[in-house]
Structure 1
Amino acid sequence: MAVLVCGGAGYIGSHMVRFLLERGEDVLVLDDLSTGHRDFVPPSVPFVQGDVRDATLLGCLFREHRVDAVFHFAAFIQVGESMRDPLAYYDNNLQGVLRLLQTMVRHGVENFVFSSTAAVYGEPELVPIPEDALKCPTNPYGETKLAVERLLHWTSVAHDLRWSALRYFNACGAALDGSIGEAHDPETHLIPLVLDAAMGRRPSVTIFGDDYDTPDGTCIRDYVHVMDLVEAHLLALNALRSGRRSSVYNLGNGRGFSVLEVVEACRRVTGRSILVEKGARRPGDPARLVASSARIREELGWEPRYTALDAIVETAWRWHGKRWG
């Protein structure tokens, strides 16, 4: 039986593929390479370049491969871009999952693990955020992820579908051997942007807003190492395979880090000076997003291993050095 990883050539998806292979799973990758990288997928893994919204292609894949489960990492993820072009986000993020679910139902595939986001909560009333907190997204990105979660619920009511939605915010870090990591174009994630400045690939890093209601005035986010994320995804899949009910889980590192704390960690790890410039707030950015992961720790036994900010940055710096050094 094969596990289909949609978006398996992207940042988190490619780490998921390798993690699955190491644990003896047969893997199939679907990726349109709009943001993914073909060389991130091991040569031994069957790879199909295509759009997850292509119902004909999906039908062919499910007929030709004995798909047992599906992971979805094929969403658009940039908050600012979603504010500028919400139609594109609804088209890709919601339609893509809709086409997948229709195909899964037709072919009797029951297990679906969805990469969701803490952005479904919007500006939270309680931090760390529990799963049952009010959902009020402040941007179309979060809104589309919440719409998918609702779609999963109603699909499971009507059909034989078991699913898990994993809500996390800032995926970060890289494979421990530095072989793969973040490689977005354009890059929008904070840690690689700061490391770019440390390497001299950009003159400075911009902080978008320093007047938030936080200790140092900059946004606080939950940074979860990519290897901890993929382990949680596999735990979720195995729970579904064993008959556990569908569920939503937060993935958090136990505390949040501010933008300035991330910059300081990058200075410590790299030993280099990093110029910081101040910019205006970005629309749709809440001040503080930190998710409680108590539920998945208790129910599935997930324990993140890479929670120290310097340790996270060290793995990202190793990948940066191999990529650009």
Structure 2
Amino acid sequence: MITSLVTGGAGFIGSHVAKHCLNLGHKVIVLDDLSGGFEDHVPQGVEFMEGSINDVELLEALFEKHRFDYVYHLAAYAAEGLSHFIRRFNYNNNLIGSVNLINLSVLYKIKCFVFTSSIAVYGAGQLPMLESMVPQPEDPYGVAKYAVEMDLKAAKHMFGLNSVIFRPHNVYGENQNIGDKYRNVIGIFMNQIMQQKPMTIFGDGEQTRAFSYIDDVAPHIANCVNVPAAYNQVFNVGADKPYTVNELVQVVAKELGVEPKVTHLEARKEVMHAHSEHSKAAGVFGNSKNVSLEEGIAKMAAWAKVVGSRASAEFDNIEIEENLPQGWSKKSMAV
């Protein structure tokens, strides 16, 4: 039987990838420290281990016991905007933790290492974002993701470790942590509405993103190990059509049955426009009709109504307070 490790499998994308791996007939072991995920998101039928990718002894024991065929690495602290202010935490978790897994994947002769990177590696001013472009990340989150991509290429050159790298973007859907105020704007909006609070927008709301429903992303990540043409390649994956945050407000409010109420906060220093091109993925995995924003948000809203609102967790280890966006400091508590 094929045995796969899914790190971050109690989180959002990871829990969906674990489910699809099960559907492909894999024996799945999920490793998650529950810092951003929930144990009840782990699919039935997988073996769950609570722990960190920075616990090298635990990783060694797991690799020795299970002799994995594939590693799907989705464990990361993915608050891109916050990464400026938690630089040490970001690199320890998103870079060093990844290297721990790559080392063991080399030592245990893993057949393929599947890594979820991000379009954050591209930075600003490169539209549409193409895999052939030279990445120019503008924040520590993107820097860490690109560093892992380069490390995987080096591991292929030196040790023959195969990998598939995905750069998903602005993914939303069921199992998202809607209580996290630092990331995932659709979840933030839904949580604010259910708490009868106004939706908060940084700046004028004219920044654009192509919001991607989870079912347009997770199946490709799970199945890529069965697609030889995908090996040692990088793929953008997600929706094609960008929307402004102002447009997003209208759709989310409509699907939750409320009139939109908005509070504008001071603009963040962020990439204003980000969307990528997906013809490379279509050529390898086949064309698929993306779930529309309205349909995807309707599905997520139905789930969110059942789950209910969640309290926004405070990140307790801010390393730099200077220029911290409004509402992200305990001192301001604007959200």
Tell me the TM-score normalised to structure 1 length: 0.90
Give the equivalent residue in structure 2 for 1:10. Answer: 11
Give the equivalent residue in structure 1 for 2:157. Answer: 157
Matched to 1:78, the amino acid is: A
Which structure 2 residues correspond to residues 1-325 of structure 1 after superposition, within 5 A? 1-125=2-126, 127-174=127-174, 180-186=175-181, 188-199=183-194, 201-210=195-204, 218-239=206-227, 242=228, 244-283=230-269, 285-306=270-291, 308-324=292-308
Q: Is the 8 A contact 1:171 1:223 kept in 2?
A: yes
Q: 1:44 to 1:168 in 2, by over 3 A?
A: closer
For residues 130-154 of structure 1, the C-alpha deviation after alignment (integer angstroms, 9 at most, x for no partner) is 1112311111111110111000100
C-alpha distance in 2 between matches for 1:104 and 1:83:
30
**Number of aligned residues:** 308
Name structure 2 gaps, 5 residues minimum: 310-335
> Residue 33 of structure 1 aligns to a residue in which SS?
coil
C-alpha distance in 1 between matches for 2:217 and 2:289:
8
Give the equivalent residue in structure 1 for 2:317. Answer: none
Displacement of 1:23 in angstroms is: 2.6
Q: Is the 8 A contact 1:110 1:160 kept in 2?
A: no
Q: 1:80 to 1:254 in 2, by over 3 A?
A: closer
Q: 1:157 to 1:184 in 2, by over 3 A?
A: farther
> Residue 67 of structure 1 aligns to a residue in which SS?
coil
Q: Is the 8 A contact 2:36 2:177 kept in 1?
A: no
C-alpha distance in 2 between matches for 1:168 and 1:5:
17
Displacement of 1:183 in angstroms is: 4.1
Q: Is the 8 A contact 1:168 1:222 kept in 2?
A: no
Tell me the TM-score normalised to structure 2 length: 0.87
Which runs of 4 or more aligned residues in structure 1 lie more than 6 Å from their structure 2 counterparts after TM superposition? Answer: none
C-alpha distance in 2 between matches for 1:140 and 1:235:
29
For residues 92-132 of structure 1, the C-alpha deviation after alignment (integer angstroms, 9 at most, x for no partner) is 1111111101111111113011111001011033x221111
Same amino acid, percent of matched pairs: 31
> Residue 166 of structure 1 aligns to a residue in which SS?
strand
Displacement of 1:68 in angstroms is: 0.6
